[in-house]
Chains A and B, each alone.
Chain A
């Protein structure tokens, strides 16, 4: 008999106070670290030592700190890009490919239109990256608006095309003859490099990130356009009732999203690597999707979350070296954190009732 038996049910919360969000996030992190500790223990590694290594390699010295920032930078820019789409509930899963296209376009600008003047060269690279990244996403947006083609599938598939396209060039006739066969272009000329800051590997892409963060926040929160996007993401039928044009907005939002992702790709090759090479992106486009959701589509939060992601990436590498753990183990740790944080979301909107 179910009547009178012990039952656990969930009930939607009427309101979700701010402290609860913080509390849940902290608790989720603690839970993830705890579960990670169990996992590390069975790997034959002292969890405390392993977490020490992660922490040290991420924040241990000024250099480590800056390296974490280097890892976080592209993730943070791309997460701003996807945030725009997600606010409208348009699923741009293709930021990875859009970033690759941006990098490719920037490299093409350097190769075919080299300019001595730094400002001119960089402006050209920015424009090319934004245009190509934007067009790459805009195509998917147009297909969605015009023929209702599922943008999850189209953006994801476009990722693979972008990846192979990039490989075609770096393995092909863009390859540096002196690279000993490595798939990479010749180093960029100096005027095509974003300068590095404070003697670290952090580069001027940081300024781009900060400007974009404020700009996106303002666009979403302060402008008519941002208001429309938020309404469309919340209730498409109410948006139509308010006379908003859904199709046009999808194309525009996808274009801008792709453009920002393209700029992220350009910053990475121009600021960090100084050349275009195969596989430069390390899946930043996918990590950024998670970051965008973990930061509740808040641009400022995404700065913080990206930095934590960067720490995890940097720490993971150190863990592989000093603890001789395979790459997969660090992926498990990352997965656990995401799992707990996203699982914790449930408790922000639901109350558990017992009895």
Chain B
């Protein structure tokens, strides 16, 4: 590892008891693209934020060109030649490109030397193929152009090592290929690039080495040429370890929920859901596997009325529900447990009682009065108390603001609310995303058991998760999502080799996979 531009040795970082990075080694050499791969929460961003000076490591050392350094702020990191481009570019929207170059720089003269700065920008843009008009205002630029400005800014300030945090997640394919040609120019000029990504094919095609992180630890650093998609997927997700969950054989009933060929746009414009079809049967769990950011959230939102579908149909018990309002979905006994618990699932400033009725306050017995104009707080309190008791939630009182609950208790309250709401009426549909994210072992087991219990009681369940062990232990069928499309829906996921699922997660259609591929992959 001689000649490393940057080297991190034994870096450990803890956040109030949680270890985000544990004795991680990482280095970047001149002229290489080094991929950093891992699931959400594996510690990639923490590690890179340490390298960029945003966090200080609790243990471990950082060396730049072989000399030990200690960064107190990103300014120190930039001075040492390390630059980072975050997913959000941190540019001043109302200012021009050239004005953004000197943002945060010290020692700039009172009268800005605009001409000089623009000349220097022109020089760098040409050298790296980052074409941009220095006089354009940031808000006029497309997302891809803004990213170019962000990269340009780091080069302008002399970065030798550039950290790119999921740079292609916001780009169109054309913009992405332009980005890669810029990255090639940079490596030719002797820069080192850290490429954080979920996208397996980009990692395989565009990088020289890969480091995989899992639960804060380095799994392995390998030369990209010596590995492939399915073994990377396996490293990311860990060994296939059977969970001890009691899941009786499925006895699927009627089709309760049916989706045909829906398409939907993502938050920033480009299509995120591209022609998905699925059905959910009563008493059955359909799992959805996939690397984060392949359209999971957008799919869920489509299915509960929170995101409009641009085409395709959704029906619930043969009733057309395409683009129906969220309220109609709830009234059709379709329940949704979002991944963003405090941002979407709860009004965290309000108390346990208020939140227990969030998705049922308009129906009896909570709503009373001749016109249903009043809320029966006594009934709300009873409902809250029942959820708290049924789901073993430790909350001091029904008047405790939800923001004061621990993460595990918050999730149990959210699950409890949606699962209790779904107890009456026709066979309920439950759409649940990342149910055990960030929970401890006991809470995880508890949540999984409660979901399986609802399956026993005849609910039709869609389970979206990044935890493959969880999916395999709980799903009766398993769909694999990649770039807004299903690569296939496996009828007996537990019998399938994990390499096959890995290949599907990397973007291969299930029917295109033959045994030879799997053998080659393993």
List the interface of chain A (C-beta within 8 A of B).
14-15, 222-225, 227, 230-231, 234-235, 237-243
Contact = CB atoms under 8 A, between A and B. Distances in A.
Which of B325, B350, B401 has the most C-beta atoms of chain A within 10 angstroms of its own C-beta? B350
Given A223-B373, A223-B374, A231 B306 contact: no
A49 B328 CA distance: 66
A1 to B, nearest CB: 10
B343 A243 contact: no
B336 interface: yes
Contacts of B347: 230-231, 234-235, 238-239
A322 B489 CA distance: 86
A303 to B, nearest CB: 23
Interface stretch (B177-185, B212-220, B355-363): B355-363
Nearest to A225: B373
Nearest to B331: A243
Contacts of B404: 14-15
A327 to B, nearest CB: 39
B373 A227 contact: no
Q: Which A-B residue pairs are the 8 nearest by beta carbons?
A: A243-B327, A234-B347, A243-B326, A235-B347, A238-B347, A234-B349, A242-B358, A237-B344
Contact of A230 (B327, B345, B348, B350): B350
Interface of B: 305-306, 325-330, 336, 338, 343-350, 354, 357-359, 361-362, 367, 372-375, 377, 400-401, 404
A234 B350 contact: yes
B172 to A, nearest CB: 27
Which of A14, A235, A240, A241 has the most C-beta atoms of chain B within 10 angstroms of its own C-beta? A241
Which of B326, B336, B372 has the most C-beta atoms of chain A within 10 angstroms of its own C-beta? B326
Given A235-B346, A235-B348, A227 B325 contact: no
A223 B374 CA distance: 4
Contacts of A223: 373-375
Given A15-B404, A224-B361, A224-B362, A243 B349 contact: no
Contact of B359 (A14, A15, A242): A242
Contact of B326 (A230, A231, A235, A242): A242
A243 B375 contact: no
5 contacts: A222-B375, A234-B349, A235-B343, A242-B361, A243-B359
A239 B355 CA distance: 11
Nearest to B304: A241
Contact of B345 (A14, A224, A225, A241): A241
B344 to A, nearest CB: 5
Given A224-B362, A241-B338, A243-B328, 6 more contacts: A15-B401, A222-B377, A223-B375, A231-B358, A238-B344, A241-B306
B325 A237 contact: no
Nearest to B327: A243
A225 B329 CA distance: 21
Given A234-B350, A235-B346, A240 B374 contact: no
A20 to B, nearest CB: 15
A243 B325 contact: yes
A239 B330 CA distance: 13
Contacts of A238: 343-347, 358
A15 B397 CA distance: 12
Contacts of A227: 354, 357, 361, 375
Contact of A224 (B336, B344, B373, B401): B373
Nearest to A2: B72
Contacts of A240: 306, 326
A332 to B, nearest CB: 34
Contacts of B372: 224
Contacts of B359: 241-243
